[in-house]
Amino acid sequence: MEVTEGAVTVEVPEQEGEGKTDAVFFNPVQELNRDLTVAVLDAYREREERAETYLDAMTATGIRGARAAAQGWDVTCADVDPEAVELAESNLARNDLDGRVLERDVNALLWDEYVDVVDIDPFGSPMPFADAAFANTRDLVCITATDTAPLCGAHFDSGVRSYSAVPRNTDFHAEMGLRILLGALARTAGRFDVGVDPIFTHATSHYVRTYLDCTHKASAANRSVQDAQGYLYHCEDCLYRESSRGLVADPPEACPRCESNRISAAGPLWLDAYVDREFTASVRERVTDDMGTAENARELCTTLERELDEPSHYDQHRLCKQWGVGAPAMDAFLDAVRDAGHDASPAHYGGTTFKTTASIDAMRDAASDLGP
Ligand SMILES: C[S@@+](CC[C@H](N)C(=O)[O-])C[C@H]1O[C@@H](n2cnc3c(N)ncnc32)[C@H](O)[C@@H]1O
Ligand SMILES: [Zn+2]
């Protein structure tokens, strides 16, 4: 069947059922991810004028590479699947777009040539491809991870194994996954003397997507391997949390709030910001009306621009359940927290998630006069 996204129309195979099939892979649900990729590439080129080459390293139907080629990037599409290569070639041709299409394993291809921007969009964990990506990309590494259960601690052994860190299953699971992923990617980049700056990152439904601006300098790598990393501690009884910087964990002996000793420690993970607000604003400005997810994409950027840099978020419904009270309207709740002198913002993790500098008790006091 034909699919139009932005400026391109491509042929994609019918996907049978939910599981992995033999057909070349295409997921319509990832349109938001692809629309934002196009907006990020556009914003990035303005910031880094010398960036010209884009490797869509796991191209499948070629849709991402075709959309980047339509923007004027010098595109290479690669895939190990010969049927994907044939389809990507014909999809570039039907849109009159230039671009190389190679039947290559991304790990082999990247050791052969440098690129300015690489896009790693695998089934599951990106870690098997991270070494080659950071060693051989000059400017920007774009990465999707769909293995959210290992990343957020729900599949503990697999998370530890893949990300060389301890993830924990908390009530802020999507952010746990995002920070475990960024921490592991930064440590991988550091092995090649590459420092990373996550200029745009989002956790959406079943995946985490991040764009890492690379600096090829040992001092930058030191910063992202050591200063930007740390641990998150979480009380399993009362939802209290705190963090510590650095690669040596320093957990509280008991919860300072409820004295429980059921404190879980997660890390090492990324504790610095995961978006650059100014860059995110310019991504929002580059979302175009011909994108199928334009409204959601702009809204996501706006939320990310306003989201506080606190290392974890709360779910208001979960808190209210814990307090045994009905949940007040979200805007009124956040206003009450702000009126009590704290910062508060909605979070991009959906539903009633938010970030705040207030403690749990301060939030409860602030919200006590609000009805459901
Ligand atoms: C999730 S799909 C990519 C989807 C595509 N980027 C999109 O936006 O529609 C993953 C693709 O990676 C390919 N692949 C798996 N291992 C690979 C490797 N080592 N090198 C290159 N491609 C690989 C698969 O054949 C598959 O087509
Ligand atoms: Zn506690």
Report pLDDT digits (tens) over 88-117: 999 999 999 999 999 999 999 999 999 999
Give the orientation angle of helix 63-70 with respect to helix 82-94, to 10 degrees.
30
The residues near 347 (Cβ < 8 Å, ≥ 6 apart) are 175, 303, 307, 313, 353, 354, 355
User: What's the chain's average pLDDT?
Assistant: 95
pLDDT at 152: 96
pLDDT of residue 15: 74
pLDDT in tens, 144-168: 999 999 999 999 999 999 999 999 9
Atom of ligand 1 nearest to the CA of 56: 6
What ranges in 191-293 are assigned the alpha helix state H?
218-222, 277-285
Atom of ligand 1 nearest to the CA of 79: 22
Q: Write the residue with the smallest CA distance to atom 25 of ligand 1.
A: 81
Residue pointed to by tokens 């745009």: 200
Q: Which ligand is nearest to the CA of 81?
A: 1
User: Residue 91: which of 142, 21, 24, 144 has the closest Cα?
Assistant: 24
ipTM comes to: 0.98
* CB 64 less than 6 A from any atom of ligand 1: yes
Say if strands 74-79 and 100-103 run parallel, antiparallel, or are unpaired: parallel
**What integer pLDDT is reported at residue 18 of this predicted model?**
59
2-306 with 314-367: one CATH topology?
no
According to CATH, the topology of domain 2-306 is: Rossmann fold (3.40.50)
Residue 332 has pLDDT above 90, yes or no: yes
CA distance 223 to 216: 12
Burial of 1: CB neighbours in 10 Å, binned 0-12, 13-18, 19+: exposed
What percentage of the chain reaches a pLDDT higher than 90? 92
* Ligand 1 contact, 162 CB (< 6 A): no
Q: What is the pLDDT of residue 322?
A: 87
Is the pLDDT score of 371 beyond 90? no
**Burial bucket for residue 371 (CB in 10 Å: 0-12, 13-18, 19+):** exposed
Residue 370: pLDDT above 80?
no
Nearest Cα to 168, choosing from 160, 251, 117? 160
**Ligand number, closest to the Cα atom of 15:** 1
For range 267-280, the mean pLDDT: 98
Residues 41 and 71 sit within 8 Å (Cβ to Cβ) = yes
Q: What's the pLDDT band for 372 if we cut at 50, 70, 90?
A: low
Quick: pLDDT tens for 32-87. 999 999 999 999 999 998 899 999 999 999 999 999 999 999 999 999 999 999 99
Confidence of residue 14 (pLDDT cuts 50, 70, 90): confident
* CA pair distance 250, 252, nearest whole angstrom: 7
121 lines ligand 1 (CB under 6 A): yes
Domain boundaries, the chain: 2-306, 314-367
Architecture, CATH, for domain 314-367: 2-Layer Sandwich (3.30)
Q: Which ligand is nearest to the CA of 67?
A: 1
Which atom belonging to ligand 1 lies closest to the Cα atom of 61? 9
Q: Is the CB of 207 under 6 A from ligand 1?
A: no
pLDDT band at 367 (very low <50, low <70, confident <90, very high): confident
CB 79 near ligand 1, within 6 Å: yes
